[in-house]
Amino acid sequence: MIVLVSFSAGCGAQLSEPSALSGGGDVSTGSDDVPSGSDSGSANSETDAGMPSPTPLDQCCHDRAHCVASTDIPAASQTFLDNDSCDADQLCVPDQILDNDPIDTCTANSLLGNYTGVCLSDCLHFGAANLALAKGSCDSYKLCVPCSVGGQPTGAPGCP
């Protein structure tokens, strides 16, 4: 099961077990990386170990996320995702989560004032809180999500 985002106070996110699928299967985000020792030119749909190759997931959110079956995502996490260009029974999960990318810290100035936080994919949806979030010092396509609001920790991953 993919555990994506759960929130405590405020608008912070909690990420855990980002790429663990129910049943222990692998997730392929369609990367061009080929493990050493594998035959990338083979027409065979099985890996060297004789296991079927994982089916690549369809891309969404301007190719910065992939479609994952809703049944593999806990209901509490589904609130922060939409189906974008995915099938009706799928949700668009940011590659930052699927690939378990590091979460950078940031600073920003918005309706919340000056704040420090962590950079999370703009493919995530924080409801009305999105209006108060800024890009700040984050890379393109990420928002600076505060580590605390009104002195209360938000629970955003990567925060102290």
Domain count, the chain: 1
What length is written for the chain?
160
As given in the structure block, the two tokens for residue 65 are 């996320």
Q: Does residue 51 sit within a domain? A: no
Q: Report the run of H or E that residue 77 belongs to, with start and end.
A: helix 75-78
CB 22 within 8 A of CB 72: yes
pLDDT score, position 141: 93
Per the prediction, the chain carries an average pLDDT of 74
Higher model confidence: residue 40 or residue 109? 109
Closest Cα partner for 102 from 115, 117, 119, 116?
119
Rounded to an integer, the average pLDDT of 79-108 is 92
**Half-sphere exposure for 4 (CA within 13 Å, toward CB):** 29
List strand residue ranges (DSSP E) for 52-104, in order: 59-60, 65-69, 90-94
Distance in angstroms (rounded) separating the CA atoms of residues 14 and 6: 5
Judged against a pLDDT cut of 80, whether residue 19 lies above it is answered with no
Q: Does residue 110 sit within a domain? A: yes
Residue 155 — very low, low, confident or very high, per pLDDT cuts 50/70/90?
confident
- Specify the pairing of strand 152-153 against strand 148-149: antiparallel
pLDDT score, position 51: 58
- Provide the whole-model pTM: 0.66
Which residues, including other chains, have CB under 8 Å from residue 2's CB and lie 6 or more apart?
Answer: 17, 18, 19, 20, 21, 68, 72, 73, 74, 77, 93, 97, 98
pLDDT score, position 144: 96
Residue 141 domain boundaries: 105-153
Q: Does residue 123 sit within a domain? A: yes
Higher model confidence: residue 135 or residue 3? 135
Higher model confidence: residue 56 or residue 151? 151
- Starting at the earlier edge strand, list the strands of the sheet with 113-121: 105-110, 113-121, 142-146
Q: Does residue 49 sit within a domain? A: no
- Identify which of 38-47, 53-62, 93-102 has the greatest average pLDDT: 93-102
pLDDT score, position 30: 46
Rounded to an integer, the average pLDDT of 1-18 is 39
For the ranges 17-26, 38-47, 119-128, the lowest mean pLDDT is seen at 17-26
Judged against a pLDDT cut of 80, whether residue 77 lies above it is answered with yes
Q: Does residue 25 sit within a domain? A: no
